[in-house]
């Protein structure tokens, strides 16, 4: 029996939002309180870079380059990576820095970019709650997690024709086999389209 390989269990595919769902999630309310500015800056940066939630909540203020539009991330194993983000995400971060963070930091001194009501670093648990609440308010029918935004980032890049190696670097995966799971999502989507629309599907 020692020479017999055990059967391989199937790896579950990560859940990703479609582009329409992301658009609904990122639609910022007209009333922009410091908390709203913070929450949407975090959402835009997470979807724009694919950053892990643990990396997002621990970002220092000086990690974001708002002229070069990129963020410096300290990932797993203290490995640093530089990930670009779009101008819209940059605008959301700038709005938060100008009109949101000063109201949250109060008189404290802290290096963290995204702050809680107490002026301390945002926690992972609290951000999970915020993302899910925003998803409910956006009318999305299923629970939303920060990890789904990371999956959506990777899936939408690959669907748009991005290089797998480039996506691996942006996600901070040490092994490209971890990134390759996203190619399976696109394959499953194409199979679904084929079954639905092909006369012999």
What are the C-alpha distances in Å from 155 to residues 2, 144, 175? Answer: 39, 16, 17
Catalytic residue among 40, 44, 47, 182: 182
Active site (annotated) includes residue 194: no
Q: Is 47 a catalytic residue?
A: no
Q: What is the 3-state secondary structure (H, E, C) of 46-113?
A: HHHHCCCHHHHHCCEHHHEECCCCEEEEECHHHCEEEEECCHHHHHHHHHHHHHCHHHHHCCCCCCEC
The answer to whether 52 is a known catalytic residue is yes
The three-state secondary structure class of 121 is: strand
Task: Say which of 38, 40, 44, 52 is annotated catalytic.
Answer: 52
> Has 99 been annotated as catalytic?
no
Among the listed residues 24, 124, 147, 189, the single catalytic one is: 147
Pair of tokens at residue 74: 């300290």
Look up 106 and say whether it is catalytic.
no
Is 147 tagged catalytic? Answer: yes
Q: Could you tell me the two tokens for 173?
A: 């995966």
**Sequence-ordered strand ranges (E) for 99-154:** none
Catalytic residue among 92, 150, 151, 156: 150
CA distance 177 to 180: 5
Q: Please pick, among 76, 99, 126, 142, the residue that the annotation labels catalytic.
A: 76
Catalytic center residues: 52, 76, 147, 150, 173, 182
């Amino acid at each position: 029996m020692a020479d017999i390989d055990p059967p391989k269990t199937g790896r579950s595919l990560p859940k990703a939002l479609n582009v329409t769902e992301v658009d609904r999630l990122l639609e910022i309310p007209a009333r922009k309180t410091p908390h709203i500015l913070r929450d949407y800056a975090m959402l835009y940066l997470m979807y724009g870079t694919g950053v892990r939630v643990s990396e997002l909540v621990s970002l220092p203020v000086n990690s974001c380059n708002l002229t070069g539009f990129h963020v410096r991330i300290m990932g797993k194993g203290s490995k640093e990576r530089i990930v670009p983000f779009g101008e819209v995400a940059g605008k959301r971060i700038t709005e938060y820095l100008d009109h949101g963070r000063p109201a949250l930091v109060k008189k404290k001194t802290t290096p963290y970019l995204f702050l809680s009501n107490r002026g301390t670093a945002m926690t992972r648990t609290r951000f999970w709650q915020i993302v899910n609440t925003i998803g409910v308010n956006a009318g999305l029918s299923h629970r939303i997690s920060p990890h789904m935004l990371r999956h959506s980032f990777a899936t939408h890049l690959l669907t748009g024709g991005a290089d797998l190696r480039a996506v691996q670097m942006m996600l901070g995966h040490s092994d490209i086999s971890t990134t390759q799971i996203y190619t399976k999502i696109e394959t499953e989507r194409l199979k679904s389209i084929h079954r639905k629309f092909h006369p012999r599907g």
